[in-house]
Amino acid sequence: MARPTKEGLEYFPLDTDIDQDEKIIVVVAKFGMQGFGVIIRLMMEIYKNGYFYSWSEKEQYIFSMKVKESVEFVNEVVDECLKWGFFHQSKYEQCGVLTSKGFQKRYLLAANRRKSVHVKPEYNLMEEVSDNNNEDNADNNLVNVDEVSAKTPQKKRKESKRNNIYVEVISYLNQKTGKNYSHKSAANQKLINGRVSEGRTFEDFIRVIDIKCEQWIDNPKMSEYLRPATLFAQKNFENYVNEKLKPISQKQSDPRDYEIALNKWIANGGDPDEFDYGK
């Protein structure tokens, strides 16, 4: 006999600062830790069931009995959670369930190794839902966990690539200037993002840093402007990146080198009038 398909989760993630979440902070402020405890127990019921909890009159009494609180108090907490968006108001009014996009997303990611894991179309709040509303095949509107898990690594790769350019560009600038700018700075990241969105590459940032360091590094006044706010600003970057690096100057020869070479030429039987130092 086949083992029945498991729907819910055995455990779920809980942020350490969940009591500061803007969707429940007012609820906690209004009902205290007693109300916070009710919220956590509701989350347990939701994840134990999967991604939603049917909030019928029967379930309200059963839940109240479990948490040893009055039905009236529990419903006051739920009403506040609906009001502030912790639970989705429309889905509760239409379907009588407590759910949210966050619950659904975390459930799908947690259950991504299971087969045929989906969100019912009538409860679905995920952006990945299919637009094909074929009435003959309700599965067209199911959200498959494979679709979500496949998109998540791609998103992570993009974020990783973006974070890398922050680190590499700012680190190179610090190395060239001896300064200590942060690649985590929102202002610095915004500047880099702006230039990347215009098609600029990592090599362009390095070129700008090299050019301006060559021009300004030995000038106490101008070296102050070797900073992201100046170098990567839109109004400056386009001009800076199109400037040219100075050609590497050839080391001036020592006059004595000419004499040494001439004497060596003569010693080897060469005619002084035919000596060419450039050869």
**10 Å Cβ neighbour count for 133?**
11
Question: According to the model, what pLDDT value does residue 130 have?
Answer: 37
Q: Estimate the crossing angle of helix 202-216 against helix 145-177, to 10 degrees.
A: 10
Tokens of 71: 């039905």
Tell me the per-residue pLDDT of 106-115, one tens digit each, with 9 for 90 and over: 888 887 777 6
**Cα–Cα distance for residue pair 46/53, rounded to 1 Å:** 5
Tell me the per-residue pLDDT of 187-205, one tens digit each, with 9 for 90 and over: 999 999 999 998 999 999 9
Contact (CB, 8 A) for 202 and 169 = yes
Contact (CB, 8 A) for 49 and 7 = yes
Tell me the per-residue pLDDT of 201-244, one tens digit each, with 9 for 90 and over: 999 999 999 999 999 999 888 889 999 999 999 989 999 999 88
**Cα–Cα distance for residue pair 49/107, rounded to 1 Å:** 10
Q: What is the pTM of this model?
A: 0.46
Q: Where are the domains of the chain?
A: 18-143, 153-241
Q: What is the mean pLDDT of residues 236-256?
A: 72
Report the DSSP beta bridge partners of residue 182: none
> Is pLDDT at 89 greater than 60 in this prediction?
yes
